[in-house]
Structure formats: C-alpha cells, structure tokens
Amino acid sequence: MKKLNITKIRADFPLLHQQVHNHPLVYLDNSNTTQKPQSVIQAMNDYYEHDNANIHRSVYNLSERATQLFENARDKIKHFINAKHRHEIVFVKGTTEGINLVADCLSRCHINAGDEIVISAMEHHSNIVPWQFVCEKTGAHLKVIPVSENGELDLQKFTDLLNEKTRIVAITHASNVLGTINPIEKIIEIAHEKNIPVLLDGAQAVAHLPVDVQKLDCDFYIFSAHKMYGPTGTGVVYGKEKWLHAMPPYQGGGSMIQQVTFPKTTYADLPYKFEAGTSNMAGVIGLGAAVDYIQHLGMENIVSHEQDLLAYATRQLQKIPGLRIIGTAPEKIGVISFILEGIHPHDVGTALDTYGVAVRVGHHCAMPLMERFGVPATIRASFGVYNTEEEIDVLVESLLKVQALFK
C-alpha cells in the first residue's frame, strides 16, 4: 500500500478545476456520480474519432476494431471483479436496468405466486420498485430486513425471514445514504445454506471496496460505470453462468438472436442473449478505461485514502452544534448523511452552493429509509479518490456560515 499523490490525481480530472460563484469547486457528491479522468474522456473520444462502427455485425476493419475494443472492456471487468467466465459479464445502461433485468427474467422462470423476496430497509428505489413489479406480476410477497438506529441490518431478523418460500435475497453492498457496508459474506452464507440466490447492488461499493465475486459467491453483482469514474448510461450485470443460462432474455431484437423465423426464434449464447440492440460502445470502452485508472491507483490505496477522509470528516462535522449524523455503523464507505437542527436540508444545499460546495440533498432515492429515521431528507457529503481534507474544512466552514445566516 502506498500513499496517493492527491494533487497529481486531481490534475487528471478536468472538471474539478473551476470556480462556482467565485469560489473553487468543492465536489462532494460522488455517491451521485463521480467525475471522469482525462484518460476515460480520451478513450471515448478516440473511439468516436478513429474506431466508430457497430460491433459484432460486420467484417470490415473498422467494425472489427470497435468489436475488439468493446470485448477488451468485458475482459477488464471480468478480471476487475474476478468473475469465473467472461460470458458472465453483461453490459446494461446501469444498475437500475441491471436489477430490472434480473427481476423481470426471474419473474418468468423462478418466482411464482406465494413466493417471497427479501430486501432491506436501506435499499435504493432501484432495488425496491423492480421487486414490487415482480410481486404485482406474480403474486409473490416482499419481505424487508429492518435497520437499527445506527444503520446496521439485523442479521437475526434476516435469518428469521428466510424460509422455503424465499426465492431471492436482493441487498445493497453499501448504503448510498448511511454509508453502511453490509456483512454480505455472512448474508450470502446464510442464504446459500437454504439454497437461496443473492443479488448484490454494488453501485456504491465497486469504486470504494475490493470486489471478488467468486470469493463472495454471490449469484448476481450489479453496478454502474458513472459511480466509478466512468461514463453515464453504462453498467454491468455479473451473473453466475447457471443463472444466466436459466433466465430467458430480457429484451428481443438484434444481436441477441441465433436464428429468427416466424414460427420460432432461438437465442444467442451468453452474454449476448441479454444484450439486445446497439450497445453503448463508447460507454463500455470508457468503463474499461475507468477500470484501468482504478487499477493503476490501486484499490487498497483508494480505500485507505477514503477511509482517512471519512474519519476526518466525521470528527470535524461532529464539532458543529446541532448537527446530527444519520448512520453511524462502524463499517462505512466515505458517505456521511446529516441534518442541521432548524434548517431544511434543501436550504442548506442551496446555501452551500453559494460557497462552491456541491453536496446532495433530499431523500436520495431511499424514501422508506428516510421514514425509518423520521426525517424528510438529509444533506449528504460523499467522497472520491480526488477529495482532500482541505475540502472537508471548506465544507465545515461553509456549514457554520449557513448556520449563522439562518439564525
């Protein structure tokens, strides 16, 4: 492990070097989306400038080059999360589409009336609503693992929820609101003892924690490029080979077929039976470049830096009178949600912007979790590899100014 040169890293990100309302930008909304290094931007530009063609469909040189770049990215993802097979990597628009894909396909081959689906009270809407669709469609029932006051899951109650009717456990690796890193190894072990598959929403974890899907033994792992220094509109579904073979296609159209006749269609081999239509080639190539960037820095170095930021920010924010942190689990990624007594989070966010500080305010697409903690919204600061302690100092100073303003 080595200490990262954050000044050098920040130089890789063009967007960070600007003024907002005559203040240097302090970008602390990385759980929402991360900024992109020049290498990712350049990889996508190079594709459009030199290799732009549709993939898998033509024999001319340009198309073959584009196909090679696209499939190289699949190999990079395979190695990044240590999948067993490259055909277990399916490209989608993002985590939301990925969870919808798995939920819809399982509803047609694995989930029936009276069955049960287990999620947690800290899930993002994208890991709630698709399963509600499945319940409405099949007559299955949704069961919810409660969250403690400090933002941890109750493993005993989780265990008690599982039974012969449980068809899948779908849970976040790390909470986008609380920052809690869930004990997913134990969750998977408990579920697999009853032969129940586990889907992990990895959107908030994959850029901040090492992920080894074979070691975890999860059945699905889903994440988005734009939360890991890559482009928007691109994501990944990792699925164990046996599940991807068992599931029917999600969408029909070009690329996902083997043979089409009017009486019957046969489908392409994995992973292509789940990649209907024209793919986001530039986005996938950009994701591959983002993986290269993360691996160049070293995941253990990123984790160390972000954990230092989390500890520093927690100490500094706790000094502010009337500030309450929502989510105090001992194991967290670099996310702090909080409220300021007597000031609505949206007012805080608007005021912080006048000092150049970008944070997320609102329910963070986790309205049931807001209800659990009895708040309409929170202010959320979330950290990336390019953030600094000096930026946290600016956040704290700005919050004190906001308090003085509203008094």
Which residues belong to the active site? Answer: 365
- Tell me the CB-side half-sphere exposure of residue 95, using CA atoms within 13 A: 30
Apex CA 235: angle with CA 293 and CA 274, to 5°?
Answer: 135
What is the SS3 assignment for 107?
helix
Contacts (Cβ under 8 Å, ≥6 apart) of 77:
83, 89, 236, 238, 287, 288, 291
Judge contact between 350 and 343, C-beta under 8 A.
Answer: no
* 345 upstream amide cis, omega within 30 of 0: no
Judge contact between 300 and 141, C-beta under 8 A.
Answer: no
Q: Give, to the nearest 10 degrees, the angle between helix 281-297 and helix 61-81.
A: 40
Judge contact between 167 and 186, C-beta under 8 A.
Answer: no
Judge contact between 256 and 271, C-beta under 8 A.
Answer: no
Which of 125, 92, 110 is CA-nearest to residue 225?
A: 92
DSSP class per residue in 286-322: HHHHHHHHHHHH-HHHHHHHHHHHHHHHHHHHTTSTT
Q: Which residues of 174-191 are buried (b: 16+ CB within 10 A; e: fewer)?
A: bbbbbbbbbebeebbebb
Which of 183, 148, 119, 204 is CA-nearest to residue 372?
A: 148
For 308, counting Cβ atoms within 10 Å of its Cβ (0-12 exposed, 13-18 middle, 19+ buried), the class is middle
Which of 73, 53, 48 is CA-nearest to residue 63?
A: 53
Q: Give, to the nearest 10 degrees, the angle between helix 95-107 and helix 129-138.
A: 20
Give the chain's radius of gyration (CA, Å).
22
